[in-house]
Amino acid sequence: MFTEAEEGQRVCQVAQGDRKAFAELAAYYLPKLEQYGTRLSGRSVQGEDLAQETLLQLWLEAGRFDPSRGRLSTWLYRIARNRFLDQQRQGWRWLGLESLEGRGGIPDPELEQLSDAREVQQALQRLPERQRSALLLSYYEGLSQKEVAEVLGLGLRAVESLIVRARRALGKTLEEEHARTP
Amino acid sequence: MQEPHETLEARTRLDSWLDRYTVTPKADLEHLLLNLPPQETLARDQSRRRWVASGARWGGLQDLWRPVALAALPVLLGFLLSSALPTGNGDSWEASEQWVFAAGGEGYYP
Protein backbone atom coordinates (compact mmCIF):
# COMPACT_ATOMS: atom_id res chain seq x y z
CA MET A 1 0.00 0.00 0.00
CA PHE A 2 1.42 3.37 -1.03
CA THR A 3 0.73 6.79 0.38
CA GLU A 4 -0.58 9.37 -2.07
CA ALA A 5 2.83 11.07 -2.16
CA GLU A 6 4.66 7.78 -2.84
CA GLU A 7 2.20 6.93 -5.59
CA GLY A 8 2.55 10.34 -7.19
CA GLN A 9 6.33 10.07 -7.08
CA ARG A 10 6.31 6.64 -8.69
CA VAL A 11 3.92 7.72 -11.42
CA CYS A 12 6.27 10.61 -12.25
CA GLN A 13 9.14 8.12 -12.45
CA VAL A 14 7.08 5.82 -14.68
CA ALA A 15 6.35 8.77 -17.00
CA GLN A 16 10.13 9.13 -17.36
CA GLY A 17 10.49 5.47 -18.28
CA ASP A 18 11.49 4.05 -14.86
CA ARG A 19 10.73 0.32 -15.07
CA LYS A 20 11.48 -0.31 -11.40
CA ALA A 21 8.86 2.22 -10.26
CA PHE A 22 6.39 0.67 -12.71
CA ALA A 23 7.13 -2.82 -11.39
CA GLU A 24 6.39 -1.69 -7.82
CA LEU A 25 3.05 -0.18 -8.81
CA ALA A 26 2.18 -3.14 -11.04
CA ALA A 27 2.96 -5.68 -8.30
CA TYR A 28 0.44 -3.95 -6.07
CA TYR A 29 -2.28 -3.16 -8.61
CA LEU A 30 -2.18 -6.16 -10.98
CA PRO A 31 -3.98 -8.60 -8.62
CA LYS A 32 -6.47 -5.95 -7.51
CA LEU A 33 -7.35 -4.99 -11.07
CA GLU A 34 -7.60 -8.63 -12.08
CA GLN A 35 -10.01 -9.39 -9.24
CA TYR A 36 -12.14 -6.41 -10.14
CA GLY A 37 -12.09 -7.29 -13.85
CA THR A 38 -12.91 -10.94 -13.20
CA ARG A 39 -15.88 -10.15 -10.97
CA LEU A 40 -17.07 -7.40 -13.30
CA SER A 41 -17.00 -9.63 -16.38
CA GLY A 42 -17.63 -13.02 -14.77
CA ARG A 43 -14.57 -14.39 -16.61
CA SER A 44 -11.03 -14.77 -15.32
CA VAL A 45 -9.55 -14.55 -18.83
CA GLN A 46 -11.20 -11.20 -19.36
CA GLY A 47 -10.21 -10.06 -15.86
CA GLU A 48 -6.58 -10.91 -16.59
CA ASP A 49 -6.73 -9.09 -19.91
CA LEU A 50 -8.32 -6.00 -18.34
CA ALA A 51 -5.65 -5.84 -15.63
CA GLN A 52 -2.77 -6.17 -18.11
CA GLU A 53 -4.26 -3.63 -20.52
CA THR A 54 -4.89 -1.15 -17.73
CA LEU A 55 -1.32 -1.34 -16.46
CA LEU A 56 -0.02 -1.09 -20.00
CA GLN A 57 -1.92 2.16 -20.30
CA LEU A 58 -0.33 3.33 -17.04
CA TRP A 59 3.08 2.57 -18.54
CA LEU A 60 2.33 4.42 -21.76
CA GLU A 61 0.30 7.33 -20.41
CA ALA A 62 1.58 7.93 -16.87
CA GLY A 63 2.23 11.55 -17.85
CA ARG A 64 -1.51 12.09 -18.18
CA PHE A 65 -2.24 11.16 -14.57
CA ASP A 66 -3.25 14.23 -12.58
CA PRO A 67 -2.94 13.65 -8.81
CA SER A 68 -5.08 16.73 -8.09
CA ARG A 69 -8.06 14.93 -9.65
CA GLY A 70 -7.92 11.82 -7.48
CA ARG A 71 -5.84 8.86 -6.42
CA LEU A 72 -4.05 6.49 -8.75
CA SER A 73 -6.36 3.63 -7.74
CA THR A 74 -9.46 5.48 -8.94
CA TRP A 75 -7.71 6.41 -12.20
CA LEU A 76 -6.75 2.77 -12.81
CA TYR A 77 -10.19 1.38 -11.93
CA ARG A 78 -11.73 3.92 -14.27
CA ILE A 79 -9.43 2.81 -17.11
CA ALA A 80 -10.26 -0.85 -16.39
CA ARG A 81 -13.99 -0.17 -16.37
CA ASN A 82 -13.86 1.83 -19.61
CA ARG A 83 -11.91 -0.98 -21.25
CA PHE A 84 -14.48 -3.46 -20.02
CA LEU A 85 -17.30 -1.38 -21.53
CA ASP A 86 -15.35 -1.18 -24.82
CA GLN A 87 -14.87 -4.94 -24.82
CA GLN A 88 -18.58 -5.47 -24.18
CA ARG A 89 -19.34 -3.33 -27.21
CA GLN A 90 -16.84 -5.35 -29.23
CA GLY A 91 -18.60 -8.60 -28.44
CA TRP A 92 -16.91 -10.18 -25.40
CA ARG A 93 -20.35 -10.48 -23.83
CA TRP A 94 -21.23 -13.31 -26.19
CA LEU A 95 -18.62 -15.55 -24.63
CA GLY A 96 -20.84 -16.14 -21.59
CA LEU A 97 -19.91 -16.78 -18.00
CA GLU A 98 -16.96 -18.88 -17.04
CA SER A 99 -17.51 -22.15 -15.24
CA LEU A 100 -16.00 -21.98 -11.78
CA GLU A 101 -15.95 -25.77 -11.49
CA GLY A 102 -13.19 -26.19 -14.03
CA ARG A 103 -10.94 -27.98 -11.55
CA GLY A 104 -11.15 -31.71 -10.84
CA GLY A 105 -11.08 -33.51 -7.46
CA ILE A 106 -12.59 -30.75 -5.38
CA PRO A 107 -13.28 -31.68 -1.72
CA ASP A 108 -16.91 -31.35 -0.49
CA PRO A 109 -16.67 -28.16 1.62
CA GLU A 110 -14.85 -26.45 -1.20
CA LEU A 111 -17.50 -27.66 -3.64
CA GLU A 112 -20.17 -26.05 -1.47
CA GLN A 113 -18.24 -22.80 -1.46
CA LEU A 114 -17.84 -23.02 -5.23
CA SER A 115 -21.56 -23.49 -5.59
CA ASP A 116 -22.19 -20.36 -3.51
CA ALA A 117 -19.53 -18.51 -5.45
CA ARG A 118 -21.20 -19.48 -8.73
CA GLU A 119 -24.54 -18.22 -7.44
CA VAL A 120 -22.99 -14.90 -6.44
CA GLN A 121 -21.19 -14.68 -9.79
CA GLN A 122 -24.44 -15.25 -11.69
CA ALA A 123 -26.44 -12.90 -9.47
CA LEU A 124 -23.81 -10.19 -9.94
CA GLN A 125 -23.97 -10.57 -13.71
CA ARG A 126 -27.72 -9.97 -13.61
CA LEU A 127 -27.18 -6.54 -12.09
CA PRO A 128 -26.92 -3.51 -14.38
CA GLU A 129 -23.24 -2.73 -14.96
CA ARG A 130 -23.21 0.48 -12.89
CA GLN A 131 -24.79 -1.21 -9.88
CA ARG A 132 -22.35 -4.11 -10.25
CA SER A 133 -19.33 -1.82 -10.50
CA ALA A 134 -20.43 0.30 -7.55
CA LEU A 135 -20.89 -2.76 -5.38
CA LEU A 136 -17.65 -4.44 -6.46
CA LEU A 137 -15.57 -1.31 -5.94
CA SER A 138 -17.01 -0.54 -2.53
CA TYR A 139 -17.30 -4.08 -1.15
CA TYR A 140 -14.38 -6.03 -2.63
CA GLU A 141 -11.95 -3.26 -3.50
CA GLY A 142 -12.62 -1.24 -0.36
CA LEU A 143 -13.07 2.10 -2.12
CA SER A 144 -14.94 4.84 -0.30
CA GLN A 145 -18.19 6.05 -1.85
CA LYS A 146 -16.42 9.24 -2.89
CA GLU A 147 -13.78 7.20 -4.74
CA VAL A 148 -16.47 5.01 -6.35
CA ALA A 149 -18.16 8.21 -7.51
CA GLU A 150 -14.87 9.32 -9.10
CA VAL A 151 -14.46 5.98 -10.90
CA LEU A 152 -18.00 5.95 -12.23
CA GLY A 153 -18.13 9.68 -12.94
CA LEU A 154 -21.26 10.10 -10.82
CA GLY A 155 -22.34 12.11 -7.80
CA LEU A 156 -22.12 10.79 -4.27
CA ARG A 157 -25.90 10.46 -3.92
CA ALA A 158 -26.15 8.44 -7.11
CA VAL A 159 -23.46 6.05 -5.89
CA GLU A 160 -25.17 5.59 -2.53
CA SER A 161 -28.38 4.77 -4.34
CA LEU A 162 -26.62 2.37 -6.75
CA ILE A 163 -25.06 0.43 -3.88
CA VAL A 164 -28.33 0.20 -1.96
CA ARG A 165 -30.18 -1.03 -5.05
CA ALA A 166 -27.41 -3.47 -5.93
CA ARG A 167 -27.38 -5.01 -2.45
CA ARG A 168 -31.14 -5.23 -2.38
CA ALA A 169 -31.36 -6.89 -5.77
CA LEU A 170 -28.47 -9.24 -5.04
CA GLY A 171 -29.90 -10.24 -1.65
CA LYS A 172 -33.30 -10.91 -3.21
CA THR A 173 -31.85 -13.05 -6.00
CA LEU A 174 -29.67 -15.09 -3.64
CA GLU A 175 -32.51 -15.59 -1.13
CA GLU A 176 -34.74 -16.85 -3.93
CA GLU A 177 -32.01 -19.11 -5.23
CA HIS A 178 -31.47 -20.64 -1.81
CA ALA A 179 -35.19 -21.04 -1.21
CA ARG A 180 -35.39 -23.05 -4.46
CA THR A 181 -32.39 -25.26 -3.67
CA PRO A 182 -32.32 -26.06 0.07
CA MET B 1 -22.57 1.79 5.85
CA GLN B 2 -26.11 1.03 6.97
CA GLU B 3 -28.57 1.09 4.08
CA PRO B 4 -32.24 1.62 4.72
CA HIS B 5 -34.48 -1.44 4.49
CA GLU B 6 -31.59 -3.84 5.00
CA THR B 7 -31.83 -5.66 8.29
CA LEU B 8 -28.70 -6.59 10.13
CA GLU B 9 -29.46 -10.26 9.54
CA ALA B 10 -29.94 -9.79 5.79
CA ARG B 11 -26.82 -7.69 5.65
CA THR B 12 -24.72 -10.32 7.43
CA ARG B 13 -26.09 -13.08 5.20
CA LEU B 14 -25.39 -11.14 2.01
CA ASP B 15 -21.88 -10.27 3.19
CA SER B 16 -21.17 -13.92 3.93
CA TRP B 17 -22.31 -14.89 0.40
CA LEU B 18 -20.20 -12.16 -1.14
CA ASP B 19 -17.17 -13.34 0.84
CA ARG B 20 -17.50 -16.79 -0.70
CA TYR B 21 -16.95 -15.42 -4.19
CA THR B 22 -13.18 -15.36 -4.06
CA VAL B 23 -10.97 -14.74 -7.08
CA THR B 24 -7.42 -16.04 -7.19
CA PRO B 25 -5.30 -13.71 -9.33
CA LYS B 26 -3.33 -15.51 -12.04
CA ALA B 27 -1.94 -12.68 -14.17
CA ASP B 28 1.79 -12.96 -14.69
CA LEU B 29 3.63 -9.84 -13.54
CA GLU B 30 6.94 -11.02 -15.03
CA HIS B 31 5.29 -11.51 -18.42
CA LEU B 32 3.88 -7.98 -18.26
CA LEU B 33 7.21 -6.45 -17.29
CA LEU B 34 9.12 -8.35 -19.96
CA ASN B 35 6.71 -7.29 -22.68
CA LEU B 36 6.45 -3.58 -22.02
CA PRO B 37 6.54 -1.67 -25.29
CA PRO B 38 8.81 1.36 -25.64
CA GLN B 39 7.03 4.46 -24.34
CA GLU B 40 7.67 6.32 -27.61
CA THR B 41 5.20 3.94 -29.27
CA LEU B 42 2.26 5.92 -27.99
CA ALA B 43 3.56 9.30 -29.16
CA ARG B 44 4.21 7.82 -32.60
CA ASP B 45 0.74 6.26 -32.72
CA GLN B 46 -0.90 9.51 -31.66
CA SER B 47 0.89 11.57 -34.28
CA ARG B 48 -0.05 8.98 -36.91
CA ARG B 49 -3.65 9.11 -35.72
CA ARG B 50 -3.62 12.91 -35.97
CA TRP B 51 -2.22 12.70 -39.48
CA VAL B 52 -4.85 10.15 -40.52
CA ALA B 53 -7.58 12.27 -38.93
CA SER B 54 -6.45 15.42 -40.76
CA GLY B 55 -6.28 13.42 -43.99
CA ALA B 56 -9.81 12.21 -43.37
CA ARG B 57 -11.00 15.79 -42.81
CA TRP B 58 -9.41 16.96 -46.08
CA GLY B 59 -10.80 13.95 -47.90
CA GLY B 60 -14.23 14.77 -46.49
CA LEU B 61 -13.99 18.34 -47.78
CA GLN B 62 -12.91 17.10 -51.18
CA ASP B 63 -15.97 14.86 -51.34
CA LEU B 64 -18.22 17.85 -50.78
CA TRP B 65 -17.81 19.25 -54.28
CA ARG B 66 -20.19 16.70 -55.82
CA PRO B 67 -23.32 17.55 -53.81
CA VAL B 68 -22.50 21.25 -53.99
CA ALA B 69 -22.16 21.04 -57.79
CA LEU B 70 -25.42 19.09 -58.07
CA ALA B 71 -27.27 21.61 -55.93
CA ALA B 72 -25.87 24.50 -57.96
CA LEU B 73 -26.71 22.96 -61.34
CA PRO B 74 -30.40 24.06 -61.54
CA VAL B 75 -29.47 27.58 -60.43
CA LEU B 76 -26.76 27.74 -63.07
CA LEU B 77 -29.06 26.44 -65.80
CA GLY B 78 -31.76 28.89 -64.77
CA PHE B 79 -29.28 31.74 -64.97
CA LEU B 80 -28.04 30.68 -68.42
CA LEU B 81 -31.56 30.28 -69.79
CA SER B 82 -32.75 33.57 -68.40
CA SER B 83 -29.86 35.42 -69.93
CA ALA B 84 -30.16 33.71 -73.34
CA LEU B 85 -33.93 33.86 -73.72
CA PRO B 86 -35.70 37.19 -73.24
CA THR B 87 -38.85 36.93 -71.22
CA GLY B 88 -40.63 39.91 -72.67
CA ASN B 89 -41.38 41.23 -69.28
CA GLY B 90 -38.22 43.19 -68.90
CA ASP B 91 -37.44 46.79 -69.56
CA SER B 92 -36.27 46.13 -73.12
CA TRP B 93 -39.29 45.89 -75.41
CA GLU B 94 -36.88 45.39 -78.33
CA ALA B 95 -35.75 42.17 -76.88
CA SER B 96 -39.35 41.15 -76.61
CA GLU B 97 -39.84 42.02 -80.25
CA GLN B 98 -36.91 39.89 -81.34
CA TRP B 99 -38.32 37.04 -79.41
CA VAL B 100 -41.68 37.26 -81.09
CA PHE B 101 -40.06 37.41 -84.55
CA ALA B 102 -37.75 34.59 -83.76
CA ALA B 103 -40.77 32.53 -82.82
CA GLY B 104 -42.22 33.12 -86.27
CA GLY B 105 -44.80 35.67 -85.20
CA GLU B 106 -45.75 38.83 -86.98
CA GLY B 107 -44.24 41.15 -84.56
CA TYR B 108 -45.77 43.54 -82.25
CA TYR B 109 -45.05 47.18 -81.95
CA PRO B 110 -46.41 48.83 -78.94
Q: Does A177 touch chain B (CB under 8 A)?
A: no
pLDDT per residue as tens digits for the range A92-110:
655 666 666 554 455 555 5
Nearest by CB: A171 against B14, B36, B37: B14
| Dihedral, A168, A36, A96, B30 alpha carbons, nearest 10 | -170
pLDDT per residue as tens digits for the range A147-179:
999 999 999 999 999 999 999 999 999 988 888
Q: How confident is the model at residue A65 (pLDDT cuts 50, 70, 90)?
A: very high
Residues A120 and A62 in one domain: no
**Domain range for A120:** 107-182
Residues A126 and A72 in one domain: no
Residues A61 and A117 in one domain: no
Question: For chain A, what is the domain count?
Answer: 2
- Domain end, chosen from A92, A122, A137, is at A92
In chain B, the percentage of residues whose pLDDT exceeds 70 is 49
Residues A5 and A77 in one domain: yes
Residues A158 and A111 in one domain: yes
pLDDT at A141 over 90: yes
pLDDT per residue as tens digits for the range B38-65:
987 655 555 555 544 444 444 445 556 7
pLDDT per residue as tens digits for the range A75-92:
999 999 999 999 988 876
pLDDT at A20 over 90: yes
Interface predicted TM-score of the whole assembly (ipTM), two decimals: 0.82
- The secondary structure of A80-147 as a DSSP string is HHHHHHHHHHHTGGGG-PPPTT-SSS--HHHHHHHHHHHHHHHHHHHS-HHHHHHHIIIIIS---HHH
**Cβ <8 Å between B23 and A23:** no
In angstroms, the separation between the Cα of residue A110 and the nearest Cα of chain B is 10
Coil, helix or strand for B90? coil
pLDDT for A137 equals: 98
State the CATH number of the domain containing residue A163.
1.10.10.10
In chain A, the percentage of residues whose pLDDT exceeds 70 is 86
| Chain B partners within 8 Å of A26 (Cβ) | 29, 32-33
Range 118-137 of A in CB contact (< 8 A) with B: 119-121, 124
**What stretches of chain B show up as alpha helix (H) in DSSP?**
8-20, 29-34, 40-63, 65-84, 93-102
Range 8-47 of B in CB contact (< 8 A) with A: 10-11, 13-15, 17-18, 20-23, 25-27, 29, 32-33, 36-37, 39, 41-42
In angstroms, the separation between the Cα of residue A4 and the nearest Cα of chain B is 23
Assigned domain for A100 exists = no
Phi-psi region of A142 (alpha: psi -120 to 50; beta: other; left: phi over 0): left
Residues A112 and A84 in one domain: no
